[in-house]
Amino acid sequence: MQEQNKFNDIRGVIIDLDGTMVHTAPDFHVAINLMRAEFNLAPLSIEIITEFVGKGSEHLMRRVLGVDFSADDVEAQFELALATYQRHYLEINGQHSSIYPGVIEGLEAMREQGLRLACVTNKPISFALPLLEKKGLSTYFELVYGGDSLPRKKPDPLPMLTVSRDFSLEPYQLLAIGDSSNDAQAARAAGCRVVSVPYGYNHGQPVQSIDSDGIVDSLLIAAHLIAA
């Protein structure tokens, strides 16, 4: 990345969960295919499911059903399919997922710098909190907002603006870190700075297509940039 000094007045960091801190696609893969088995549908590959991740459980389930059903039939099946998926997901949440390299080290470095940390995810809060706890990440964050914590989720700027208000910081004092265009669009609209990680999901699109302030290979690299 260039222009490292653009991060010299950052006082808080907003970090995405799925695809940024934790590789959760294997959890989605298991839970979705357990749901599909109950609906007598063929299993989907993890590659297909990964492309659907990032805009919340409702969007995920509509995309999953859309593989087999028309738009009208998707809506007819939606409520039961979502409830079935959520039941399975809660049972296996975190069992098949893993923390990405550099995440713990990056969070430790950010905390040592005195940065205030928030996790903002489109994952339902009832999934996000147990996952953060199971992976040993919950103690790093003052705030955690899920996709159903506020009236609107990313890419709407509301979650970022809410963190800004809660931390009593201006949006420009916040850096958002995420793996998808959702994170960047929300940050841009809120007036926050934003960097992307290259290893996440981003709806199947290349990370280079994201309008961000740069690409960082890990949260630890992001912490180094802020410190510099």
Residue in the block written with tokens 């290893």: 199
Coil, strand or helix: which one is 217? Answer: coil
Q: Assess contact for 150 and 173: CB atoms under 8 A.
A: no
CA 161-25-131 angle, 5° bins = 60
In the set 16, 27, 179, 183, the catalytic residue is 16
User: How would you classify residue 200: left for phi > 0, otherwise alpha for psi between -120 and 50, otherwise beta?
Assistant: beta
Strands 116-120 and 98-99: unpaired
Residue 201 CA to residue 217 CA, distance in Å, equals 14
Q: How far is CA 150 from CA 105, 124, 125, 154, in A?
A: 30, 11, 10, 10
Cα three-residue angle 151-143-186, rounded to 5 degrees: 50
Examine the residue annotation and report whether 179 is marked as an active-site residue of this protein.
no
What residues act catalytically? 16
